[in-house]
Every structure is written in C-alpha cells, then in structure tokens.
C-alpha cells in the first residue's frame, strides 16, 4: 500500500539537489522584470507559463538563462532565495543545500558579491525567523571554460565560510568532469577537509575533500541513476561506499531520462541498499518541489511508508551537516513516524 499524502507532506525532509535559479516562478520572473525594467518576450503570466513547457535539456537551459536575466541586484537574489526557503518551511524541508551558479550572472556583468550577499542574507533571515537550516553549494557551469570556473573559484575563496561544497551543472555533452580537474585540485588545496562533498563532518569550507571530482559530478548528473542500474559493479561500489545519489524523479522524466515515472528505478536502487535521496532539481521548471516528487513516487510506484522514511533519513544522512546535527534531524523524523502512524 502506498504512503498517504498527509504523511508525505508533513514528514520532515532534507533537500540536497536544488538550483536556486530553478526556483524562479513565472510570477516572480514578471515581477522582477518590471522592477528592473527588463524586456522579456512575454507580456502575460500565461505566456510565461506556456514557455516553461520546454522539450529538451538545451531548450530548458535556454529558458533558464533567459529568466536569469531579470536578476540584477542583491534584493532580487534575496527574494528568489527567501521565497524558496519559505517553500521549504511549507513543505517541512527542515534542511536544504541549494546550489547557486554565479557564472550565470557574472558572465553578464553582475558582481559575484551581489549574487552571494543577496542569497546568504535570505538564508540568514530564514534561519533567524523560523530556524530554517540551509547550507550553500556553488556550481560551475560545464559549458563554460575551466578558466572561467577557476576565476569563479578564486572569487569565492574569500567567502569559503559561506560555501560548503562545489560541483558542476549545465550541459554535460562534451564537458566531462575531467575538464575541471585543476579547479577541484585548487579547491582541495585551499584547506578543504576530507570526507567528500556529500559526507563527513559539517565544518565550513569548500567541501570537495578526498572525493574525486568525477564522483562528485556524477552525483549531480541526471544520467547517474540509469548508469548505476546498468552496471552491477558500480551498484556494488555505491552500496559499499554509501555514496549519495541525489535523485530528482520529476526532473528525470521531464528531461527524458525515463519515459514515465512508472519506469523509474529509484525504489529499486533504494532496495539495493544505495543511499538514495529525493530532490526537486529546478522545481519551477520540472513540475514541483520536494513534496510533489514524494507524492509522485507514492502514486506511480506505490512507494511504502517505510521506503519514504528511508529516503528522508538518507537525505539527512547524506547532508554536509555535522554528525550531531544529522542525528538531531533524524531523531525528529523518527519521532514524527511514531507520533503520526494514522497519517500513513
């Protein structure tokens, strides 16, 4: 029997794979375009919503970067981040590790500090106002040069206490992780502690540790899940090492990794003993935030309550929080399950 929707929506959760630019709703896009006097090829909310019906990864990226053009000053980045964190509060996402892509903005003349300061101010306010736990990840854009990534890293180093991990995103084709090996080596050389980007303690810093960039990037890859299923040696390695897989089910379907959610192998991997987590990726573009992903798994894959709880536990366990913080959130999840058996 699948899990009840009330249980899933109220269940404490973590999110480890979410891009802040992907939380730009059609309404906020129009609001910021008017505020900043940015001319868009859309005049109504309905036209923007229709544009969000893209057909491929590249068409999605084109739309994403076009939408990002409305973000200009600290207030804009604050509003984008704060509204996402409010959504976390509504969906009982107790801890989140959103990614920001500074190159999307610095390439069009926005100072790195503007992007970071607005983003971090929203995270601090959410933490103070309702106790929202959040840690910031910085991604490099694959389709840009390694030199551009290195410049971005150098700009970030003075703010290393504000950023807990680095990774890759954007177009994968022709842009392998090895392209950025020197960038990751430089990050590790700057006092980065061991333990990997999705493991170890919670000390501040650019947490790429001893984890090879290829593995770090693979966990961000939309194709990693399918490759895992097709390679039993890799499945065994992932299980033995408990390397987290930050799976984004609705995104996987929207981008054609799976024809439908009914074909998705996420629960199979969970039953194989892998550290699978559920995330929203770019929620405004891919059909929903974290709760929508959990609800879709319950509806399409008949996910059980026990499986949902394991996925949620994995989210806290795979975070870059300290062990004490991980334990605190996991205890909250266990207490919720005991106190609300009627919702499942």
Determine the straight-line distance between the first and last CA of the chain, rounded to whole angstroms.
10
Domain boundaries, the chain: 1-11+220-344
Are 229 and 269 contacting, i.e. CB atoms less than 8 angstroms apart? yes
Among the residue ranges 193-207, 251-265, 266-280, the one predicted with the least confidence is: 193-207
In angstroms, rounded to a whole number, what is the distance separating the alpha carbons of residues 27 and 67?
11
Instruction: Report the distance separating Cα 327 and Cα 341, nearest Å.
Output: 21
Residue 19 forms beta bridges with which residues? 99
Nearest of 230, 280, 268 to residue 98 by alpha carbon = 280
More confident residue, 200 or 334: 334
pLDDT in tens, 274-329: 999 999 999 999 989 999 999 999 999 999 999 999 999 999 999 999 999 999 99
CATH of domain 1-11+220-344: 3.20.20.140
Is residue 15 within a helix (H) or strand (E), and if so which, with residue range?
strand 13-15
Which of 50-59, 124-133, 161-170 tops mean pLDDT?
A: 124-133
Name residues whose C-beta falls within 8 Å of residue 83's C-beta, 6 or more positions apart in sequence: 23, 25, 28
Per residue in 177-223, pLDDT tens?
Answer: 899 999 988 988 885 432 233 322 222 223 333 343 334 434 444 44
- Vertex 141, ends 139 and 145: CA angle to 5°? 130
**Average of per-residue pLDDT values in the chain:** 86
pTM above 0.85, yes or no: yes
Which pLDDT value is given to residue 228?
A: 58
**Given a cut of 90, is residue 265 above it in pLDDT?**
yes
Residue written as token pair 């550290």: 275
| Distance, CA of 181 to CA of 178 (rounded, Å) | 5
Q: What is the pLDDT of residue 190?
A: 83
- Rounded mean pLDDT of 80-91? 98
Q: What is the pLDDT of residue 229?
A: 64
| Per-residue pLDDT at 27 exceeds 70 | yes
The predicted-structure confidence for 100-121, as pLDDT tens digits, reads as follows 999 999 999 999 999 999 999 9
Q: How far apart are CA 136 and CA 94, in angstroms?
A: 14
- Cα distance between residue 333 and residue 317, in whole Å: 12
Dihedral Cα 249, 230, 172, 199, nearest 10 deg = 70
Which stretches of 91-212 are DSSP H helices?
102-106, 112-130, 146-156, 181-189
């Amino acid at each position: 029997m699948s899990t009840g929707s009330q249980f899933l929506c109220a269940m404490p959760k973590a999110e480890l794979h979410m891009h802040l630019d992907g939380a730009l709703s059609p309404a906020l896009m129009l609001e910021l375009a008017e505020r900043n006097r940015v001319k868009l090829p859309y005049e109504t909310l309905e036209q923007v919503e229709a544009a969000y019906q893209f057909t491929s990864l590249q068409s999605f990226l084109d739309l994403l970067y076009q939408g990002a053009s409305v973000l200009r000053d600290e207030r804009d980045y604050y509003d984008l981040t704060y509204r996402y964190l409010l959504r976390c509060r509504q969906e009982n996402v107790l801890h989140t590790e959103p990614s920001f892509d500074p190159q999307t903005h610095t390439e069009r003349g926005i100072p790195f500090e503007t992007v970071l300061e607005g983003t971090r101010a929203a995270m601090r306010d959410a933490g103070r106002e309702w106790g929202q736990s959040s840690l910031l990840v910085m991604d490099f854009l694959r389709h840009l040069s390694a030199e551009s990534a290195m410049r971005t890293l150098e700009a970030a180093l003075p703010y290393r206490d504000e950023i807990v991990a680095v990774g890759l995103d954007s177009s994968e084709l022709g842009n392998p992780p090895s392209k950025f090996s020197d960038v990751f080596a430089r990050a590790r050389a700057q006092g980065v502690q061991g333990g990997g980007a999705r493991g170890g303690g919670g000390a501040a810093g650019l947490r790429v540790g001893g984890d090879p960039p290829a593995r770090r990037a693979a966990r961000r890859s939309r194709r990693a899940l399918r490759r895992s299923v097709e390679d039993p040696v890799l499945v065994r390695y992932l299980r033995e090492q408990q390397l987290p897989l930050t799976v984004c089910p609705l995104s996987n379907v929207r981008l054609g990794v799976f024809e439908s959610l009914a074909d998705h192998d996420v629960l199979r991997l969970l039953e194989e003993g892998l550290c699978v987590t559920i995330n929203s990726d770019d929620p405004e573009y891919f059909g929903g935030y974290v709760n929508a992903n959990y609800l879709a798994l319950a509806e399409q894959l008949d996910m059980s309550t026990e499986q949902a709880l394991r996925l949620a536990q994995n989210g806290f366990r795979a975070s870059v929080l300290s062990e004490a913080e991980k334990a605190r959130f996991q205890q909250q999840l266990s207490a919720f399950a005991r106190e609300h058996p009627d919702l499942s």
